[in-house]
Structure formats: C-alpha cells, structure tokens
Structure 1
C-alpha cells in the first residue's frame, strides 16, 4: 500500500477525531476541506513541526503493520507522550479543534498557571465553518447553511450514525 503525506494526515485525523476516513476524506469530495486543514496545520506550526508529527505517526503506523483501525491506538501513544514533545501534543490538540470547529485555536497565557490562558480561534473560511465535525456530533447544521429540505424538523431525526458516517 502506497501512502502519501495527505494519506497519513487523513489517517492521523481519523485517530484524533474518532470519525471514519469516509467522513474525513469522502470519495466524492467537492469541498476538499482536508487540504485546507492540512495547509493550516502546516502553516500555523513552527519549524516543520507538522511534518515531524506526521513522520512520527507514519513511523508508528508502519511499525504497527499499517492496519486500518489502529489509528486511535497510534494517536493514543503519541498523545501519551511516547516520543512526542509537549509542543507536538498541543499541536495535535489544535488539529482536533480545527476538525471540530473549523477554526485554528491559539492560547494566550494570562500569567495564571491555574487557568492556562485564554483561547482565541480564527475560522479558516465559510467552508471550514460549515464542515466542522461539531455539527455532525450535534445532529444539527450550521446557522445559515443546510442541505435539509423545508419542514425537515417535522420528522424524527435519523440515527446518530447517519450524521457521523461511522456505524454505531
């Protein structure tokens, strides 16, 4: 199996978000939000850190036999500190935020170690806002954007798995 940079980004994102690869990178992908998120991940991290994280993920993935379904375990190892710096763990947490909220978070220290600082976020685009995974988890849609037909609220909602694209 031949993987490229995007394949490892998608695979790691599956492990970080809990969503299937079909939800993260659907076969028919007219919006291609994964490319925007990979670019933001790369651009917002210093000194090639995104590439370092993906290389570490690739190393663990290949060492584990490149088995689909092992993404969460590998990400768990990385977030547990196995060869991962505190800055890289923070970057992975920022990527989780990006996938769910469609915005890149920045934490500014307020000098109080008990609060950890204040988080500010910047929405990448209108597409990133509407494609945030949080809407699927809430079984909802973003304000001002929906693919539902008028009157959809009169029917019972489909099961959560229909929103998550990840069988329950």
Structure 2
C-alpha cells in the first residue's frame, strides 16, 4: 500500500488525493504540502467538478495505490489505468497543471496559487512580480549555468 496518511483532514479521499498527486507530480507529499494549498486545491476540485467524476478518479487512484507495492508497479498501473483512459488522463493532466501552475482550466485557484506553483521550484526561479529573489541575487550565478 502506497497511500500515505496525510494531515488531519476529515475526508476519506484526501489522503488518496495527496498520494496520487505525489505520484503524478514526482514530488513528495511534504513538498506538496509546503505550498500551503493542499486543502485549498482539494476543496476547489470538489466544488468545481461533478462529484462522480472526481470520486471515480480517486476511487481508481485508491485501487492503484492499494495494490502497488513498488514504485515500478505504481508507475505501470498509473500508465495503464489512468493515462490510457481518456477521461482519467484528462483529470490527471488537470491535477498536474494545478500543482505546477496553480491553475484549473486556465484560471488561478486563489491569490497564492500563482506564487506557490511548483514550476518555480523546478525552474530554480521565482514568480515574477510575486516573490523577489532577494538582495544581491543578481550577483549569484544561476543554477546549471554554463557561463
């Protein structure tokens, strides 16, 4: 079983949401939680979608997470049961976009979702106009710079 007990949110599917988010984004649940938006994202999706669509996605995800005992089994199950299924693939894509860009169907979730998008950490950058890199940051050579 790969489902991690996450936070103390009193909802059956929240742990599944976080565990499948971890598997899809490639980042740990702690990294996802550090955005401070996990419960915001979860409740936003619940309110934005028809319940059965999201519940179906989470039910399939829970089944995958319960049965997978290794990371390789998890990857193969996600590929065959979520990515290969057009409806589930769409949901997975929206979920990854939510975490990385802070948007759901092109709209920001709230005023923090842009600033806390995972894309900024992956790029070793900061969200322009939202978080500044700090005094004298221009004097530090960029990560992976060849110059």
TM-score using structure 1 length: 0.68
Residue number in structure 2 paired with 1:155: 140
Work out which of the residue numbers 95, 104, 109 in structure 2 matches 1:124: 109
- Seen in structure 2, the aligned counterparts of structure 1 residues 158 and 147 have a Cα distance that, compared at 3 Å, is same
Does residue 11 of the first structure (1) align with residue 19 of the second (2)? yes
> Which structure 1 residue ranges, 4+ long, deviate > 3 Å from structure 2?
1-4, 67-74
Residue number in structure 1 paired with 2:100: 100
Residue number in structure 2 paired with 1:63: 67
Does residue 91 of the first structure (1) align with residue 91 of the second (2)? yes
Per-residue CA deviation, residues 126-154 of structure 1 (Å, 9 max, x unaligned), is 21111111111221111222264211221
Residue number in structure 2 paired with 1:138: 123
Per-residue CA deviation, residues 113-136 of structure 1 (Å, 9 max, x unaligned), is xxxxxxxx1111121111111111
Give the RMSD, CA atoms, in angstroms. 2.5
**Contact preservation (8 Å) 1:103, 1:124:** yes
Distance in 1 of aligned mates of 2:63 and 2:138: 47
- Seen in structure 2, the aligned counterparts of structure 1 residues 99 and 56 have a Cα distance that, compared at 3 Å, is same
SS of alignment partner, residue 115 of structure 2: helix
Does residue 77 of the first structure (1) align with residue 62 of the second (2)? no
**Contact preservation (8 Å) 1:102, 1:131:** yes
Cα offset, 1:68, TM superposition: 6.7
Segments of structure 1 that go 5 or more residues without pairing to the other structure are 106-120, 160-168
Does residue 22 of the first structure (1) align with residue 26 of the second (2)? no
Per-residue CA deviation, residues 1-41 of structure 1 (Å, 9 max, x unaligned), is 87442221111111211222221124xxxx62011111222
Aligned length: 136
**Contact preservation (8 Å) 1:14, 1:24:** yes
